[in-house]
Amino acid sequence: MVAPVRFEVSCEDAYDYLVAPANRSEWQSSLRGVDDVVGIDGVAGQSWVDVTMAGIRPLMELTDADRPHRWSERGTWRGFRATLTLTFTPVGSFCDVGVSMHVAAAGLARPLGFAANRVAPSTVRSDLRRAAKILARR
């Protein structure tokens, strides 16, 4: 778990913005967009394909959704699996968003999974700071 990011909006507003695949490319630095969204925003079972800048297209699925407290997603691409959980804690009229994540890779890519676990949390935290700034301007 990395240090939480403060959002100057309610946990409901932060949750609704972050969980919606259509908003992802606005705040996630690695994304150009999303494709093939199936299901309702914020409902477990929703799936989509991330379209990344690097051309990787992982299949994403919302695996847990407890608005406005927590949501988890799973991404798979070839031999890689990643899980991300965001937790939402009210702090007065604001919200702290915490991050927990894990990346695993199979076979020869396994060392890349270990490396991703070192780098990804700071990248996700940076993306969350971007999302917090976007929401603060609205």
* Residues 84 and 124 sit within 8 Å (Cβ to Cβ): yes
The token pair at 60 is: 């994403």
For 78, the domain range is 2-137
Q: Report the number of distinct structural domains present in the chain.
A: 1
CATH of the domain at 18: 3.30.530.20
Which residues are registered as beta bridge partners of 75?
Answer: 60, 82
Helix (H) or strand (E) segment spanning residue 110: helix 110-137
**In 10 A of CB 121, how many CB atoms?**
19
pLDDT digits (tens, 9 = 90+) for 62-77: 999 999 999 999 999 9
What share of the chain in percent tops pLDDT 70? Answer: 99
Tell me the C-alpha distance between 116 and 119, whole Å.
Answer: 5
Q: What is the mean pLDDT of residues 69-86?
A: 94
Average of per-residue pLDDT values in the chain: 92
- pTM, two decimals, is 0.91
